[in-house]
Structure 1
């Protein structure tokens, strides 16, 4: 490690420059100079959240966040900033939390100054026009309505209702028409102004700037745009009371979800622990509780048939409180044995108390140092939000190091924190469809019941001793202490085909850009058996789930040590992706491939895993209408994608024999393609590839399978209704571009880039169709297309379709003003499509996608840039006209409306009722 500029602690491989400044007016800013960055990323964290909401105006802080985008004194147009950024390769977003609000944007470097001007005006000089306030209250109410059937929101509300009513956490934070409509518009306007004037002051704002510009350049711009803020402190908030009253601890809360779910969530109430960031006691406790090995907590529960998954450590936190959750996904048997599971949890906690913890500190410290020094860069915008938030939590010198530093290993602090892990200091939430309840939550109508844990159970848990059936993890065999960099050969800076045949291909490339001891290995299997129908699809899905269940238990420590795997299905088979540190990765990959071929013993967990898969498919049918419509669109467009409803029926009848049969068929007749990219030498990779090929030769091979999609261009406009019980109407209108060529792809992307803010503003602000509105670039197997979508609590699906089509009819006129910005627009799209890879994983993923697109020269960026340069604004207008009149453009309208049906003739469309029949009679297009 080294001490960087302005005394910020960084590591020796970090070549960026950091500067922390506090201005005379109290504004705090961290500047990150990154010469490799092609964009500027800015985040502002404001010390205001829903804890500031007055009792008679719940949701005020959320409304304030919305209102900052509704025009300001200098840029009066609604969503002016969003529109500006969309024209210059950028984006903006915001979020309101309990004690902080976050605003963040990215933009190309040449427009950084103007974007900062927009941003400063947005934060400091909002208009708060009454008409806009009324519309945004409607938008927030639509957001509330959209989420009313979201189980996470519903569980969260029960958590709030069962906390201390005097603590602001217990308040309704989102707001809706009811809470924000109690005051008239003039009163609401004054409330917003008062809150803004109090909280959005320099001393209550922290900024992070990540850009290629020098610290001096960025500093001058911040002074220019934020330096005029007066020096003034926000009002001091009174100390927060205890989050829970004594009677709200040592309790059981039974909750009925909407989706089929069975969960046990054990919450321990802790104080704030940020000051222990150099010891990280919760990280030590979390990793021990989350160990998924056979002798850990989850392994014990799996052996008993009680649980199938575990997550540990998440929970609400604030300036004086912290929840620590142990969250278990249960089986029906587990649901009937909650007390036994609690006993095992406290036995395991006692094991942790009694065990020496120095070895765990040693491993954790080594791993954190490796992750910090050799980690793939995270998205700059995410890093900016993280750093602007860190300014409120950590001393200046540790702003960069806070997540990684562990220089005060102290087992006594772990024991001190474990002192809060007691039966009388916990809340037990049991989520199940058959919960016995006697209360309904106020806003989300969630049934629940609260009861004290029995004195007998509390006493038993208090006196639990260590269990010999539960053991803490052994030394991590996957952790590499030494990492060396391979001497790269420039020849392999672009992947080369080092094993080539009709049915087996290996591509190898070396990282010459990032200089990290990391890499990615992708192995894809195209299998003829994967294309034979829904029964084979669900058997493959179930086999992959069974393998992942086995890997989860066997290789949990590999994930902890920075060796990751992802085994997943795709259109024509399945893939295995390993990533992380390169030292032991190819050996790890070989082991996984061997297990994939040889593992046969699935009987023990078959019913559990099958039940999980069935539950997941059933729950898909309860997703919000827009999600279900996009899932149905995928089933329409792709040969081997099936609807969740058809998969539910097939899954329920699938047996273990079916799985074994399909597994054998998948493996016996296949095509293999591999990309190995990162910190490896050719000799090592050739040995790995030869062994992979030797194994492959024992099976039948065939050519790579086609990823064709169904051709809509020769069809009439199509209309498909999706039955759905959700009260909102929803519509997705999909337009398939004429062909898969690079030109059509770029025209579609350019059009979506221009249309997106225009349509969003029209649908959300002007037409007020609902909260969930938008458009997007939607390719299927590289065939370009775009979709417009709306989910509305107010209007029928037919009205939504008519409004969207009317909008498109006027699109040529709406887009004409953008002609003067055409070069900037193209440059913005160019930088998005052809930007430098942000990290090694993103580069590997791009190269893997290129292979999937049969771009064997890996020249997509260059070819894209050349083609984009040739496209004129008139070309885009011709493309738009083709969309409007339906020339060579396929139109597929999917809708859901529980109250109204639509006549296909009224919309000049052809109804499609049976997807299977549609696929039988519709031609495919490459």
Structure 2
């Protein structure tokens, strides 16, 4: 297998005697094991009279098996041993994946093998899981992505399995009797979940031979069987389904033009990657590219290129544009411009773009920052189905057969008669309504006059392909590290300006991260200032998007974003030229003022985003409101809407001046740089800073709930489901309370999930989580239910906690495992350089200037006994020094505060005005 010289891991590809293909990765730095299995079965195999069967099968594998009969036994085991598990059903593949502490890999594999190969499919469990799938369907019935996807399905070849309803619901899964569904599940499992149709990947610190023996022990007895030969798939689209326009009405405010070109599968061209070349040219956001041209005309604000559905014999290629009202009125002209640009690509010599792309892919591959191990395991187990053995690891990075002629061959599919034009807009004229998600849409043929114009499109002199990338560096060398800076040191220290510098000696990559945060007194002056700041940052990002698109392509990334006390800039990627790039961005933040050109567009975008936020599902809206209630300088979306609607261009200039004229700067430079590089960047930043007034670091206080009665807050939502979030604020922000809250969450999470989803069947969207605000610990329980009232949900959650307190003693036997799992989560080594930089930056935010949080956490955790957790939980339930804030949405029932013995919070601003703050 193709690996690179910096990859110090060992790989082994093997096929067991029974036909199971496995790839094993030995990574001695890994502190947990990550495992993924891919099965060559997805919803394409669903029978027409039982749609959603494959999805149901995925659910049923977690409902007990011949060895581990208890529902969610695997999930419970993993939660006690530092791991998690999940699964997903796609069109042609299904994925199952988990992580676990290293010492528990063998037992976890035993669970996993029985889960995959010996399910029980008990009738009562089938009934419950059909109900869960129906709740999942109901939960997402107003999801515009699903609604758009269904229209795509309904306008494809009805003989192709893609056209089928894949998720399933009570209607499709109850067509047959439960006994018949059980028989279908057994048959599907017996046919598809077989050794030759399954792959496995394990990433662990163990040597590959040891892992292989574990796989043989747990999967070797799996019967040697092939899946039935599948009939070839028909064409995805019929002739009459191409060269058409589809108008779609969304629920949320949206204006989009999506041009889809129908292609055959391109997986075999992975060594040439023609679609990568085409994507980058069409997606160029410079002033002379498609987006730049459309922005100048006021037609579009964003572009994304290349995504689309993909399968064994088909591939959609999308050009997706976010439109303005003017763009919506000029669809034909925009289509003509797209084909003019495609003509440019056809006529241009593309060898330089191959050279740039292969150089960058080679650099990314050679100096790759590690990805999340579970994601990598899924990717590798899937790759076994697609790529030859020698390219399993490097398939996404290989471009060793550059061939412009192949790009031209692929571009032969980019024709008007081979496209589908989707226009998403408010209130289009429609004649159809999709079956499951009730989406109004219309289908019409593209007029012959427009078709002819598109077929005859010639190069537009106003459009140009991107110039040579000025940000692409071909020299990435490692510097020698200085032991003095392995832990970041403060290299600039004043009352209003602090810079920290550190060097990485762990990952040996020519990469780094530079953070610059601006605390601005003006950001704390209320919702109007926060809203106008949001507009200013959006206008800057709009400017950066056009000016620095090529930097992103070359592996130099930036993120400019607002936070509650100001704003921050984060650059990342290759270290070569990055600090110069970061300096240029900070200069632009201070000097760019051409806001007039795109002010109305950006303002409309921000308002549309905030309005759409008000249409989110109730649980999301309740958590957004919780954030606004708990944090001093965080505001509700509705108040932000009102403030942005009133904002003028003059206010943007004024807020920019206010933000920059009185500020505090903190910066972290960490990675592959010399001290002199950091000093040069710091000096230039300080020289810039000296022109303005400074102040100290601003407080990130939160509101203190501990000395108040339990609080109740109602949030009206235009959604039929009732929803509840109960938030418990821990007594204080000391490390001990933080650890006790995390330990409790680790213990209660699987128990509550199993209770709410399986036993009480409250709904599909249920759970609990650790929810800190500005480092003050807390946890939340949440439920969204299509059938129960909010009052019932609140009482049920509270009753659960009362019972859990009584039953808590039974978990004492697992105490060491729970502590060990939390210890590994909190104190594990950084998985990659980006995570290390983020951890160090977070430490600065928490004023942990010794960067000793891991060591201090380990020491504190060692001293916590089970009796301490018992005391903590009892205090939480009876409200001793613990704040309880209940948020709910219920379209059918209003809750009486007196019945729940709580105080009502009716006005957010009044609540904040009269509630004390705590650090």
Q: Report the TM-score when normalising by structure 1.
A: 0.99
Asked whether the equivalents of residues 21 and 28 of structure 1 are also in contact (C-alpha less than 8 Å), the reply is yes
Secondary structure of 2:259 counterpart: strand
Residues 575-586 of structure 1: pairs in structure 2 closer than 5 A: 575-586=568-579
* Residues 1:917 and 2:910 aligned together: yes
User: Paired residue for 2:66, among 58, 68, 73?
Assistant: 73
User: Paired residue for 1:504, among 477, 497, 502?
Assistant: 497
Residues 732-771 of structure 1: pairs in structure 2 closer than 5 A: 732-771=725-764
User: What does residue 5 of structure 1 align with?
Assistant: none
Secondary structure of 1:322 counterpart: strand
In structure 1, what is the Cα distance between the partners aligned to 2:777 and 2:475? 45
User: What does residue 14 of structure 2 align with?
Assistant: 21
User: Paired residue for 1:291, among 284, 290, 294?
Assistant: 284
User: Paired residue for 2:241, among 217, 238, 248?
Assistant: 248
1:184 is displaced (CA, Å) by: 1.1
User: Paired residue for 1:570, among 563, 586, 603?
Assistant: 563
User: Paired residue for 1:308, among 301, 307, 318?
Assistant: 301
User: Paired residue for 1:214, among 207, 213, 217?
Assistant: 207
In structure 2, what is the Cα distance between the partners aligned to 1:413 and 1:570? 46
User: What does residue 487 of structure 2 align with?
Assistant: 494
Secondary structure of 2:100 counterpart: strand
User: What does residue 838 of structure 1 align with?
Assistant: 831
User: What does residue 663 of structure 1 align with?
Assistant: 656
* Residues 1:102 and 2:95 aligned together: yes
User: What does residue 368 of structure 1 align with?
Assistant: 361
Cα deviation per residue 1:628-651 (whole Å; 9 max; x = unaligned)? 000000000000001001111111
Cα deviation per residue 1:18-45 (whole Å; 9 max; x = unaligned)? 1100112110000111111111100000
* Residues 1:117 and 2:110 aligned together: yes
* Residues 1:268 and 2:270 aligned together: no
1:142 is displaced (CA, Å) by: 0.1
Asked whether the equivalents of residues 272 and 322 of structure 1 are also in contact (C-alpha less than 8 Å), the reply is yes
User: Paired residue for 2:431, among 408, 416, 438?
Assistant: 438
In structure 1, what is the Cα distance between the partners aligned to 2:198 and 2:184? 20
1:780 is displaced (CA, Å) by: 0.1
User: What does residue 379 of structure 2 align with?
Assistant: 386
1:815 is displaced (CA, Å) by: 2.5
In structure 2, what is the Cα distance between the partners aligned to 1:375 and 1:605? 37
Residues 97-176 of structure 1: pairs in structure 2 closer than 5 A: 97-176=90-169
* Residues 1:793 and 2:753 aligned together: no
User: What does residue 629 of structure 1 align with?
Assistant: 622
My pick for the range that moved more, 861-870 or 18-27, is 18-27
1:183 is displaced (CA, Å) by: 1.0
1:467 is displaced (CA, Å) by: 1.0
Secondary structure of 2:235 counterpart: coil
My pick for the range that moved more, 10-19 or 866-875, is 10-19
In structure 1, what is the Cα distance between the partners aligned to 2:707 and 2:162? 56
* Residues 1:194 and 2:193 aligned together: no
Secondary structure of 2:136 counterpart: helix
In structure 2, what is the Cα distance between the partners aligned to 1:231 and 1:840? 43
Cα deviation per residue 1:869-891 (whole Å; 9 max; x = unaligned)? 00000000000000111101100
1:435 is displaced (CA, Å) by: 1.1
Cα deviation per residue 1:192-217 (whole Å; 9 max; x = unaligned)? 00000000000000011100001111
1:102 is displaced (CA, Å) by: 0.1
User: Paired residue for 1:856, among 849, 854, 857?
Assistant: 849
1:459 is displaced (CA, Å) by: 0.9
1:225 is displaced (CA, Å) by: 0.6
In structure 1, what is the Cα distance between the partners aligned to 2:89 and 2:792? 33
Secondary structure of 2:712 counterpart: strand
Asked whether the equivalents of residues 811 and 880 of structure 1 are also in contact (C-alpha less than 8 Å), the reply is no
Q: Report the TM-score when normalising by structure 2.
A: 1.00
Question: Where does the alignment leave 5 or more consecutive residues of structure 2 unmatched?
Answer: none
Question: Where does the alignment leave 5 or more consecutive residues of structure 1 unmatched?
Answer: 1-7
User: What does residue 521 of structure 2 align with?
Assistant: 528
In structure 1, what is the Cα distance between the partners aligned to 2:19 and 2:648? 66
In structure 2, what is the Cα distance between the partners aligned to 1:46 and 1:816? 40
1:116 is displaced (CA, Å) by: 0.3
* Residues 1:811 and 2:811 aligned together: no
* Residues 1:324 and 2:309 aligned together: no
Secondary structure of 1:603 counterpart: coil
Residues 332-411 of structure 1: pairs in structure 2 closer than 5 A: 332-411=325-404
In structure 2, what is the Cα distance between the partners aligned to 1:814 and 1:176? 35
1:292 is displaced (CA, Å) by: 0.1
Cα deviation per residue 1:95-120 (whole Å; 9 max; x = unaligned)? 00000000000001000000000000
Asked whether the equivalents of residues 164 and 244 of structure 1 are also in contact (C-alpha less than 8 Å), the reply is yes
* Residues 1:889 and 2:892 aligned together: no
User: What does residue 447 of structure 1 align with?
Assistant: 440
1:15 is displaced (CA, Å) by: 1.1
Secondary structure of 1:10 counterpart: coil
In structure 2, what is the Cα distance between the partners aligned to 1:577 and 1:800? 41
User: What does residue 474 of structure 2 align with?
Assistant: 481
User: What does residue 725 of structure 1 align with?
Assistant: 718
In structure 2, what is the Cα distance between the partners aligned to 1:687 and 1:591? 13
Cα deviation per residue 1:32-90 (whole Å; 9 max; x = unaligned)? 11111111100000000000000000000000000000000000000000000000000
Secondary structure of 1:810 counterpart: helix
1:813 is displaced (CA, Å) by: 2.8
In structure 2, what is the Cα distance between the partners aligned to 1:433 and 1:354? 38
Residues 566-715 of structure 1: pairs in structure 2 closer than 5 A: 566-715=559-708
In structure 2, what is the Cα distance between the partners aligned to 1:787 and 1:684? 44
In structure 2, what is the Cα distance between the partners aligned to 1:849 and 1:317? 39
In structure 2, what is the Cα distance between the partners aligned to 1:919 and 1:357? 59
Cα deviation per residue 1:513-541 (whole Å; 9 max; x = unaligned)? 00000000000000000000000001000
User: What does residue 778 of structure 1 align with?
Assistant: 771
Cα deviation per residue 1:261-305 (whole Å; 9 max; x = unaligned)? 000000000000100000000000000000000000000000010
User: What does residue 462 of structure 2 align with?
Assistant: 469
Aligned length: 919
In structure 1, what is the Cα distance between the partners aligned to 2:460 and 2:825? 55
Secondary structure of 1:775 counterpart: strand
In structure 1, what is the Cα distance between the partners aligned to 2:156 and 2:53? 21
Residues 225-240 of structure 1: pairs in structure 2 closer than 5 A: 225-240=218-233
Asked whether the equivalents of residues 754 and 815 of structure 1 are also in contact (C-alpha less than 8 Å), the reply is no
Secondary structure of 2:386 counterpart: coil
In structure 2, what is the Cα distance between the partners aligned to 1:284 and 1:805? 56
1:335 is displaced (CA, Å) by: 0.1
Asked whether the equivalents of residues 727 and 793 of structure 1 are also in contact (C-alpha less than 8 Å), the reply is yes
User: What does residue 4 of structure 1 align with?
Assistant: none
Secondary structure of 1:807 counterpart: helix
In structure 2, what is the Cα distance between the partners aligned to 1:634 and 1:884? 22
Asked whether the equivalents of residues 44 and 388 of structure 1 are also in contact (C-alpha less than 8 Å), the reply is yes
1:436 is displaced (CA, Å) by: 1.0
Q: Provide runs of 4+ in structure 1 moved above 6 Å.
A: none
Secondary structure of 1:264 counterpart: strand
In structure 2, what is the Cα distance between the partners aligned to 1:696 and 1:366? 38
In structure 1, what is the Cα distance between the partners aligned to 2:111 and 2:806? 27
